[in-house]
């Protein structure tokens, strides 16, 4: 690996940690929606209509977070700010 690739990787991890901390500080006092089929469909519809990637997926009738998504906390912040949908960040 070259130094540029290593630096980009470290910057991405730092950015993700910062976004997670900001999300937690802003919305930890809010009531989180449970990860149900209804919540999944609602979030998916909102994401599709706004042109953003859905942070949730369904696997064997269980709704989970996409942990590999690099901008997951930015998307969760958008859902919370614009649509008042608060998802439990501790499940990520």
What is the per-residue pLDDT across 2-38, written as a single tens digit (0 to 9) for each?
889 999 999 988 988 898 888 889 988 888 888 889 9
Q: CA 28 to CA 11: how far, in whole Å?
A: 25
Domain limits for position 30: 3-91
- 0.75 exceeded by pTM: yes
* Contact of 91 with 65, CB cutoff 8 Å: yes
Domains identified in the chain, total number: 1
pLDDT at residue 49 in the model: 93
pLDDT at residue 1 in the model: 67
Span 75-82, mean pLDDT? 90
pLDDT in tens, 38-77: 999 999 999 999 999 999 999 888 999 988 787 888 899 8
CA dihedral 19, 73, 35, 92 (to 10 degrees): -60
């Amino acid at each position: 690996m070259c130094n540029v690739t290593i630096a980009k990787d470290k910057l991405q991890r730092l950015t993700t940690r910062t976004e997670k901390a900001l999300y937690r500080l802003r919305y930890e006092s809010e009531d989180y929606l449970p990860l149900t089929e209804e919540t999944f469909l609602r979030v998916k519809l909102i994401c599709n209509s706004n042109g953003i990637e859905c942070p949730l997926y369904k696997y064997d009738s269980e709704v989970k977070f996409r942990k590999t998504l690099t901008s997951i906390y930015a998307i969760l912040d958008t859902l919370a700010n614009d649509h008042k949908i608060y998802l439990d960040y501790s499940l990520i």
